[in-house]
């Protein structure tokens, strides 16, 4: 008889480095599943962050364009206005600033505030841009007094 066979005629497999036990395979599978789950969650979080940064970038570009239009246009006038573009709501407010301090000058200072807001999922996102601009004061004619 062969050394690897028992008296009953069955082949006997020696314990050793030739294979893995069921417990070792299950432990390896659990570790692999945990690692894959963590990697997929990180990937999902990165996609959410990427989508959010894309929304902020779009809102910033739209706000920059609108702010430049306001500042480079003609005379600024006090007041508020609102417009919606591609789901982004832009509220603009122009107010005179430092009115008492600049009363005797030939220019006046306006404060320009641009609030941008949009819906992202269930949350509302927003930010504000604020600047000041000096403009030549409108001359009041003697006839209007």
Does 8 map to a domain? no
SS3 50: helix
The answer to whether the predicted template modeling score (pTM) of the entire model surpasses 0.85 is: no
Does 1 map to a domain? no
Nearest 5°: the CA angle 44, 47, 48 is 90
- What is the band of 35 on the pLDDT scale with cuts at 50, 70, 90? very high
- Cite the DSSP H helix spans in the chain: 22-72
Q: Which residue segment(s) compose the domain that 87 sits in?
A: 22-144
Are 81 and 70 within 8 A, CB to CB? no
Residues 78-111 have pLDDT tens digits of 888 888 888 888 888 888 887 777 777 777 888 8
- List of residues 6+ apart from 118 with CB closer than 8 A: 55, 59, 87, 88, 89, 124, 125, 126
Does 11 map to a domain? no
Does 92 map to a domain? yes
Are 112 and 130 within 8 A, CB to CB? yes
Does 16 map to a domain? no
Does 17 map to a domain? no
Structural domain count, the chain: 1
CA atoms within 13 A on the CB side of 126: 9
Cα–Cα distance, 50 to 44 (Å, whole number): 10
């Amino acid at each position: 008889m062969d050394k690897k066979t028992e008296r009953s005629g069955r082949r006997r497999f020696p314990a050793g480095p030739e294979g893995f036990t069921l417990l070792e395979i299950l432990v390896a599978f659990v570790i692999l599943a945990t690692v894959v789950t963590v990697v997929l969650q990180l990937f999902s979080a990165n996609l959410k962050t990427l989508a959010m940064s894309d929304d902020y970038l779009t809102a910033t570009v739209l706000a920059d364009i609108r702010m430049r239009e306001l500042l480079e246009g003609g005379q600024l006038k006090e007041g508020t206005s609102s417009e919606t573009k591609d789901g982004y709501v832009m509220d603009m407010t122009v107010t005179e600033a430092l009115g008492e301090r600049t009363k005797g000058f030939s220019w006046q200072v306006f404060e320009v505030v641009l609030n941008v807001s949009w819906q992202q999922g269930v949350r509302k996102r927003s930010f504000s841009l604020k600047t000041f601009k000096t403009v030549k004061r409108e001359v009041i004619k003697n006839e209007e007094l």
